Amino acid sequence: MRLIHKTKAILGVAFFNTFLVAGAMAAPPDAIAGKAKAQMCFACHGENGLSAAKDIPNLAAQPPLSITYQLIQFRGEQRKGGGMEAITQALSDQDMRNIAAYFSALPPPPAQSGNADKIANGQQIAGTQYCNSCHGSQLQGQKHIARLAGQSPEYLMTQLKAIRSGSRIDMDGTMGSAARGLSDEDIESLAAYATSLP
């Protein structure tokens, strides 16, 4: 039997926040089975979804579909990096949904303080670059779009630069066009802003 998730659109009080759980999924994702399967993830990504190193992303509170999509693209070798292509080869789609269910349910990474000017600049760039259109008003992510809030700034900078250069897969061209005009300083400011968000 197929479980159809309820799609809920919750309009925020002050800002529009949309939390959407994707329409179609196969068997119900099982966070407990996911935790068991995710043992091999913990050494780098942490049991609490907070990573052990700056170049490794925090997975806690990522939208589940965002985690699943990245795992699928690593397995298909469309996205590369961190040895994830090899690690994902043995995972089934259901394993990926379960792992995603586990990490997405964890408390989000704590906001990190930083240089106030950089953060303000980053916020301004996020507005002119329309980051919020897809990543959400608080960069919390939605559907298959990654959460950036509280993410490791070093990881964000590496990824934005990889997208800008074309070395990281760009699923539908949106991120490529968003990143193309960014300078290294812009990217640094954006990362400082994203990581400062709860």
Partner 1 sequence: MKLKAIYSLMFAMGMALTTLATAQAPAVPAIPPTWAQGRTADGMNPSLAPNPPGIAATPADEIAVSKLKVPAGFKIELWASGMPNGRSMTESPSGTVFVGTRFTGNVYAVVTKDGKREVKTIAKGLHRPNGVAFANGSLYVAELSRIIRYDNIEQNLDNPPAPVVVFDALPKDEPHGWKFMTLSPDGKYLYFQIGTPANIVVPPYTHAAIVRLNLKTNILEYVATGVRNSVGMDFQKGTKELWFTNNGRDWADENLPNDTLNRLARPKGMNFGFPFCHQGDFLDPEFGKGRSCDEFDKPEMKLGAHVAALGMRFYNGNMFPAEYKGNIFIAEHGSWNKTKKSGYQVVRVVLDAKNKPVKLEPFITGWLDGENFWGRPVDVQMLKDGSMLVSDDETGAIFRVTYGK
Interacting residues toward partner 1 by CB under 8 A = 2, 4-7, 9, 11-12, 14-16, 18, 20, 22-24, 26-27, 65, 68-69, 72-73, 76, 78, 93, 120-121, 123-134, 137, 142-144, 170-174, 176-178, 180-183, 186
**Please, what is the minimum distance in Å from the beta carbon of residue 79 to partner 1?**
11
Judge contact between 81 and 52, C-beta under 8 A: no
Rounded Cα distance, 68 and 66, in Å: 5
Rounded Cα distance, 61 and 186, in Å: 26
Give the single-character DSSP code of 168. S
Nearer to partner 1, 48 or 174 (CB): 174
**Please, what is the minimum distance in Å from the beta carbon of residue 42 to partner 1?**
24
Nearer to partner 1, 121 or 159 (CB): 121
Nearer to partner 1, 66 or 159 (CB): 66
Place of tokens 């303080």: 113
**Please, what is the minimum distance in Å from the beta carbon of residue 142 to partner 1?**
7
Judge contact between 88 and 131, C-beta under 8 A: no
Judge contact between 31 and 101, C-beta under 8 A: yes
Give the single-character DSSP code of 38. T
**Please, what is the minimum distance in Å from the beta carbon of residue 51 to partner 1?**
24
Nearer to partner 1, 50 or 178 (CB): 178
Nearer to partner 1, 3 or 52 (CB): 3
The percent of the chain in helix, strand and coil, each rounded to the nearest 5, is 45, 0, 55
**Please, what is the minimum distance in Å from the beta carbon of residue 133 to partner 1?**
5
